[in-house]
Amino acid sequence: MRTSELTRQTKETHISVILNLDGRGDSQINSGSGFFDHMLELFAHHGRFDLSVECIGDTAVDFHHSIEDIGIVLGQAFREALGDKAGICRYADINLPMDEALVQVAVDLSGRAYLGFGLNIPTEKVGEFDCELVAEFFTAFTRELRAAVHLRQLAGDNSHHIIEAAFKATAHALRRACAIDSDLEGQIPSSKGVL
C-alpha cells in the first residue's frame, strides 16, 4: 500500500493528512472552508485517492494560512507515499472540460519543483473563498511534491467552474502519473536511475 500519514503544527495551523494513493476516492475533509472542502473532495474522488484532511487554522484572520499549509502537507504526503517512485508512469496530462471551462494539466513527477500557473479567475471570491488562494495552494503543493506541474486555462468565464476543472484535471493527471506501469518492471522511470 502506498500510503502516508502526516501532521504539521505551527502557530497558525494544525493539520493532519492521511493519504492512500491506491484507494477508491473516499474522503473526509475539514479545511475550515466549505468551498475548499468541496475542491479536495473532488480531487480525491477523481484521483481515486483515499484522503483525510483535518485543519484547525486561524480562519478568523482569513483562509490563507490554512489553504497554503494544507498544500504543504498534502504535497509532502504524496511524496512520502510515492517512495522511490519505482515503476510509476511519471508523466501524465489531460484536457478537462467543465461546462464552458476547459483546463489543461501536465505533470512530471521529476523530483524537481516547478509550477506553471495559467488560470485567469475572473472574480476575487467564490462565496467566502479568496480565489487568489488557488495559486497559493498549488504553489505549496507542487513545491513539496517536487513535481513539474503546468496548469493552463484554455477557456472559461465562471470562477467556480475554472477552479473546479483545475482540481479535477490535476487529480486525473496525478492519478495517471502515480500509476504503476507494468512494462517498467519496478524500474525508476529516469535515465539517471533516480527521481
The 3 state secondary structure assigned to 125-170 is EECCEECCHHHHHHHHHHHHHCCEEEEEEEECCCHHHHHHHHHHHH
Domain that holds residue 80: 3-184
In a domain, 51, yes or no: yes
CA dist 165 and 43 (Å) reads 10
105 and 170 Cβ atoms separated by less than 8 Å? yes
Query: Is the sign of the CA dihedral 150, 134, 178, 172 positive or negative?
Result: negative
In a domain, 192, yes or no: no
pLDDT, tens only, 167-178: 999 999 999 999
In a domain, 105, yes or no: yes
In a domain, 163, yes or no: yes
Torsion of CA 125, 164, 113, 85, to 10 degrees: 150
Average pLDDT score over residue span 136-143: 98
At 35, which CATH number?
3.30.230.40
In a domain, 48, yes or no: yes
What's the pLDDT score for residue 165?
Answer: 98
What's the pLDDT score for residue 24?
Answer: 98
Give the model's confidence band at 87: pLDDT under 50 very low, under 70 low, under 90 confident, else very high: very high
- The total number of structural domains in the chain stands at 1
pLDDT, tens only, 8-43: 999 999 999 999 999 999 999 999 999 999 999 999
In a domain, 195, yes or no: no
In a domain, 145, yes or no: yes
Give the model's confidence band at 112: pLDDT under 50 very low, under 70 low, under 90 confident, else very high: very high
What's the pLDDT score for residue 169?
Answer: 98
CA dist 168 and 96 (Å) reads 8
What's the pLDDT score for residue 114?
Answer: 98
In this structure, the number of other CB atoms found within 10 A of the CB of residue 79 comes to 18
Mean pLDDT of the chain: 97
In a domain, 191, yes or no: no
Report which of 77, 107, 98, 97 is spatially closest to residue 175, judged by C-alpha positions.
Answer: 107
pLDDT, tens only, 34-86: 999 999 999 999 999 999 999 999 999 999 999 999 999 999 999 999 999 99
